[in-house]
Structure 1
């Protein structure tokens, strides 16, 4: 009997995912029926989901064995009281590659002082030589799959990278600290800070006025993680005071970023429209299909969300 897979990530994504999901499921050998509607919710075996999709109440899906999220973040679903099924987040290898490229690109941009030449409105000949990479310490806040990949890519360019996470981590080639004392130690020596933490109650406003004050004067902030990781007002004050030289932000508390937000007009802020990394249908479909294969074979699910931690 085939398993029923309900694509509930929204009609706008269905054309991009239909064929990749069908191909990926066929490649695993799973006998599956894929549909973008559920005539009988009680007959659905798996739900492919994304925030803003077409399900808010998971109660009718009594046979569902897992909800498979297409995005890395699960903060918009993890607190849903009707969601009693196992929830898996997305770890897409192509999305990881995109994030590495974006983070490395902006880290090098700030390290080399490229804005000084690109944005100059008039002829100039300021022969300012930047330090070499091994003289520019980087703090990677968040050592999950994305943080580890970005940390290792920067380390391969000779940046001295130190990782930080809320709990202890061991990552080959990257020294890692954790806890409040570890956060202070990491920030006090970092000239570039990259934030790739999930949004939880513990990480909201992680970079507040006090912690921004721990950084060496003139540090750079790069945030492709979650908007609420940084206190907006504290960041603007730190930029105005020269404590932070520049902030490149890809994520925000409200998206799209409202036209009247101070970030748009501030010379010390670069806004990018949440483009650092997105799920790629072909590779993401492979992850979804593999999890369905695992569940049908009685094997552990990949990237299972810990509800207590929120990720």
Structure 2
């Protein structure tokens, strides 16, 4: 018998209980799933940082912590978490992110704000988008989410360039890495989408210098993490016309404070961290597979590199 503790907000239990039980059964696991166990009885924790568990030391039998979140920046430095930590890479979440990023890139590419939303009785002819193949789009981050978004945009014939900290090979995408590669990826890009994790090495990865490399009148889409963008530099670039607009789904402080300049800035679209969310049904399959692997002595999938922070 495998004991699986679900440690997240109570509303998540109502959402996940049935799909998790079904996934564990489908995986052939003899498992007990609950929100409470004696700590010394627990084999696996299905985990969100805003749940009740923060000290893992009492869980003396623990084999792995299986995160419900894709981002693990709030978990990797926990000194009591010494067992393997696996982040959530959920194909349902990936599909959602691809749809959101593609939608906002196409919004900018086609000029939807100008041609559809501003219907004020004025006939504005002559503004036609170029072909997608004549637009350079840069995707910063080529992990599971970034690579999927980059490939979707490439399939629409955009000239897609991607950047990662280390070498990557993504079909249909011109890949760059390292400091010099970042400049090459950003140079003359009309649109930049950020899909990197939040680590000390990625903070302000899109700064004033990087924005200056972009094609004048370009666009920024950030569904990754708030600290990836230098907020002050972004406002300056928008005010100067170097950038035409930014759509931001993530922020350094969430919820975004009511008085924040992003709410009132005419060149900023705020969305409330909705670009993609883990789906209970597909995430449950990922969790059950990792528990099956743990019990079979196989390597876990999506295991976190603590040194890298993701």
Deviation, structure 1 residue 260:
0.3
Unaligned 5+ segments in structure 2 are none
Aligned to 2:82: 84
* Length-normalised TM-score, structure 2: 0.98
**What is the alpha-carbon distance in structure 2 between the residues aligned to residue 121 and residue 238 of structure 1?**
27
Aligned to 2:118: 120
**What is the alpha-carbon distance in structure 2 between the residues aligned to residue 173 and residue 239 of structure 1?**
30
Aligned to 2:206: 207
Q: Which runs of 4+ in 1 moved over 4 A?
A: none
Deviation, structure 1 residue 121:
5.7
Aligned to 2:185: 186
**What is the alpha-carbon distance in structure 1 between the residues aligned to residue 183 and residue 109 of structure 2?**
22
Secondary structure of residue in 2 paired with 1:205? coil
Secondary structure of residue in 1 paired with 2:59? coil
Aligned to 1:132: 131
Deviation, structure 1 residue 90:
0.4
**What is the alpha-carbon distance in structure 1 between the residues aligned to residue 167 and residue 269 of structure 2?**
32
Secondary structure of residue in 2 paired with 1:103? helix
Deviation, structure 1 residue 156:
0.5
**What is the alpha-carbon distance in structure 2 between the residues aligned to residue 270 and residue 151 of structure 1?**
22
**What is the alpha-carbon distance in structure 2 between the residues aligned to residue 76 and residue 21 of structure 1?**
24
Aligned to 2:273: 274
Aligned to 1:239: 238
**What is the alpha-carbon distance in structure 2 between the residues aligned to residue 300 and residue 252 of structure 1?**
34
Aligned to 1:3: 2
Secondary structure of residue in 1 paired with 2:167? coil
1:207-257 alpha-carbon deviations (Å, 9 max, x no partner): 111211111111100000000000111100100000111000000001111
Aligned to 1:20: 19
Aligned to 1:51: 49
**What is the alpha-carbon distance in structure 2 between the residues aligned to residue 292 and residue 253 of structure 1?**
33
Alignment RMSD: 0.8
**What is the alpha-carbon distance in structure 1 between the residues aligned to residue 86 and residue 121 of structure 2?**
53
**What is the alpha-carbon distance in structure 2 between the residues aligned to residue 211 and residue 132 of structure 1?**
25
1:291-310 alpha-carbon deviations (Å, 9 max, x no partner): 00000001010000000000
Deviation, structure 1 residue 62:
1.2
Unaligned 5+ segments in structure 1 are none
Deviation, structure 1 residue 169:
0.7
**What is the alpha-carbon distance in structure 2 between the residues aligned to residue 211 and residue 139 of structure 1?**
11
Aligned to 2:226: 227
Deviation, structure 1 residue 117:
2.6
User: Which stretch shows the higher mean deviation, 229-238 or 207-216?
Assistant: 207-216
Deviation, structure 1 residue 123:
1.3
Aligned residues: 309
**What is the alpha-carbon distance in structure 2 between the residues aligned to residue 307 and residue 235 of structure 1?**
30
Deviation, structure 1 residue 119:
3.3
Deviation, structure 1 residue 149:
0.6
